[in-house]
Amino acid sequence: MSIKETDERYVAHTYKRFDIAIVKGEGCLCYDDSGKEYIDMTSGIGVNAFGYSDPVWAQAVADQAKLLQHTSNLYYTAPCAELAEILCTRTGMKKVFFSNSGAEANECAVKVARKYAADHKGAEYYNIITLNKSFHGRTLTTLAATGQDAFHEKFTPLTEGFLYAEPNDVEGLEKLVKENKVAGILIETVQGEGGVNALTPDFVKAVERICHENDIVFMVDEVQTGNGRTGKLYSYMHFGVQPDVISTAKGLAAGLPMGATLMGDKVADVLSYGDHGSTFGGNPVCAAAAISVLSRMDDAFLAQVAEKGAYIRSRIEEAGYAVSGLGLMIGITTKKPVSEVLSACMEKGVLCLSAKEKLRLLPPLNIPTEQLEKAVDVIIEALK
Ligand SMILES: Cc1ncc(COP(=O)(O)O)c(C=O)c1O
């Protein structure tokens, strides 16, 4: 049987796959089982920050795998401790809980907000406000956090206590906070799955203000926007705010499963023994990968991410299409169905994504200029 036939027979049909099987990759190029080469403008949906099989990343992973691949969270390990220190130093946060995915990172954020509220205001302050069109994960709690009805259907009852505000509507948010007992507000500064929609700076600042005024936990979901994707290490850094909780995953270990929930001053000591846990959380190999990733994301590297994003934006806008997003998280409003654009790009050897009705680009952050230019040429042709 072909890869496709075996997959179709044995793997649950939760993904609508494109009709190619990727067998290997190097840098920003990958190859299907017929040997066809593609420039990857997807990074495995914002994961492979340094592309495929990056030698520095692979060395860090291999070295750690040979030394200690796993132990339990009953013991200290150097990569876990070191990574937490790096994350805190670079964000001003105070404590980290490690998990394995974005959904788990958000699950932890929700637990932190609820426990903070229970400790300080009473257990009835359990509501979490998220935004319409948000996406926060697929567990029953993070589905409830996801402000899109289509994801909820057939899975009810979801975790109770989620309310949805309209993005960029400060008055609406204030009203929700006034009328309900609220533990936390969770936002993506750029809604990824929801269509690459950046929130306005005024709204992000207002969320922070409202949280401070009402002693509510201010949480930013940096699962897709984090780890250099937008041209800053974390996207909230564009907005001059300091969240109480940051959740992240995807690009953190650049291809190995790792989630992290970072807790600031206000909530640093909310979680105590037994409150939360994860067998694989803080796994030494994943942590070693993340240390390697973050150590390469200095100011010069992040500036290049911003430059590459600006290059794509200007080329696409010049060609007559509207662009949304930040850094190398880009949404393009197409004039024909996005599925047609995706197919045309794929045929010409460029892999892209969609987000709602937009074309979405999440290329590896270190994509070489020549490949970037070539990919943008193909995309512009495909958009026509
Ligand atoms: C903003 C955001 N939060 C959470 C998630 C869920 O992450 P995961 O699939 O790793 O659970 C995603 C995934 O796309 C995301 O984009």
Question: Which tens digits make up the pLDDT trace of 155-209?
Answer: 999 999 999 999 999 999 999 999 999 999 999 999 999 999 999 999 999 999 9
Residue to substitute in 130, 135, 229 for testing ligand 1 pocket (most ligand atoms within 8 angstroms of CB): 135
The residue among 295, 257, 287 whose CA lies nearest residue 67 is 287
Could you tell me what percentage of the chain is helix, strand and coil, using 3-state DSSP and rounding each to the nearest 5?
A: 40, 20, 40
Q: Is 235 in the pocket of ligand 1 (CB under 6 A)?
A: no
- Distance, in Å, from the CA atom of 41 to the CA atom of 365, rounded to the nearest integer, reads 10
Residue nearest atom 4 in ligand 1 by C-alpha distance: 136
Ligand 1 near 103 CB (within 6 A): yes
pTM of the model: 0.98
Q: Which residues of the chain have pLDDT under 50?
A: none
- Ligand 1 binding pocket includes 251 (Cβ within 6 Å): no
Could you identify the atom of ligand 1 that is nearest to the CA of residue 257? 10
User: Is there an atom of ligand 1 within 6 Å of 244 CB?
Assistant: no
Asked if residue 168 lies in contact with residue 189, where contact means CB atoms within 8 angstroms, the answer is no
Q: What is the mean pLDDT of the chain?
A: 98
Distance CA 83, CA 98 (A): 10
Structural tokens at position 156: 């009810």
Strand partners, 52: 27
Q: Closest ligand 1 atom, CA of 193?
A: 16
pLDDT at 1: 87
**Most informative mutation of 250, 354, 362 for ligand 1 (most atoms within 8 A of CB):** 250
183, 127 contact by CB (below 8 A): yes
Domains of the chain (ranges, CATH numbers): 3-53+300-383 (3.90.1150.10), 68-296 (3.40.640.10)
The reported pLDDT for the residue numbered 72 is 98
Q: What 8-state DSSP symbol labels residue 171?
A: H
